[in-house]
Amino acid sequence: MTGPQVLVRESEEERRKALTPSPDMGWFLLGAVGLVFFGVGLFDVALAWYPLNFGNPEYEFATYSQVMNFLPLPVLGLAMFLAGGVARGIKWVPRFVAVVLILMTVGILAGAVLYATNVPLALKAIKDPVILTGLKKQIFKTAFQSVVYPLLMVYVSVKAWRHATAASR
């Protein structure tokens, strides 16, 4: 009788191409990319407000709408950073993200109050029905985002804080 037969032989080149799984490196990279997204997103938000022109209703209305449209990038970046930190067991990351999200929530709610004061002025200023329809859609979108983002941020920050607290016990 002969020894076992090899039906498919892996060549040396194929073995060298295989990459050893490294979940820690994957989570590190996700967190690092998340920090970059967060930074770039915050830069967009800061540029939307520059130069400051508070007291000008058109500026306040347009800038807050623009900020709401820019918000997904920094929030996604924070979520990626949080996921990477939690998966790697870094205790300070969930608390840091929770605090940043709460601060962002306060900023959004303050901006929403400012925005709400300018909505009647914007609606009164537009007479063209086509433009008025577009304006109403933008108002609805911004109002919706002003409710959904804070709810999401508070939910994630509470979960992150509780996770960090449970881990420290």
CB 81 within 8 A of CB 29: no
Give average pLDDT by consecutive 10-residue segment, the chain, 169 residues: 63 70 91 96 93 85 92 96 95 95 96 92 88 92 96 96 84
By CB neighbour count within 10 A (0-12 exposed, 13-18 middle, 19+ buried), where does 17 fall?
exposed
Q: Provide the pLDDT for residue 126.
A: 85
In a domain, 13, yes or no: no
Q: Residue 16 has which token pair?
A: 């060298």
Q: Residue 8 has which token pair?
A: 């498919």
- DSSP state, residue 7: S
Q: Provide the pLDDT for residue 98.
A: 97
Q: Provide the pLDDT for residue 8.
A: 63
Q: Residue 108 has which token pair?
A: 């959004």
Query: Where is 139: in which H helix or E strand?
Result: helix 129-167
Query: Where is 115: in which H helix or E strand?
Result: helix 92-125
Q: Residue 141 has which token pair?
A: 């979108």
- Give buried/exposed letters for 66-82 (b at 16+ CB in 10 A, else e): bbbebbebbbebbbbbb
Q: Provide the pLDDT for residue 20.
A: 81
Q: Provide the pLDDT for residue 10.
A: 64
In a domain, 11, yes or no: no
Residue 29 neighbours by CB under 8 Å, 6+ apart: 84
In a domain, 17, yes or no: no
Angstrom distance (rounded) from CA 49 to CA 15: 54
- Number of structural domains the chain divides into: 1
Q: Provide the pLDDT for residue 9.
A: 62
Query: Which residue range(s) make up the domain with 59?
Result: 22-167
Angstrom distance (rounded) from CA 115 to CA 74: 21
In a domain, 46, yes or no: yes
In a domain, 6, yes or no: no
Cβ-based neighbour number of residue 84 at 10 Å:
22
In a domain, 7, yes or no: no
Q: What is the pTM of this model?
A: 0.82
Angstrom distance (rounded) from CA 145 to CA 8: 56
In a domain, 1, yes or no: no
| Cα 136 → chain centroid | 25
Q: Provide the pLDDT for residue 57.
A: 84
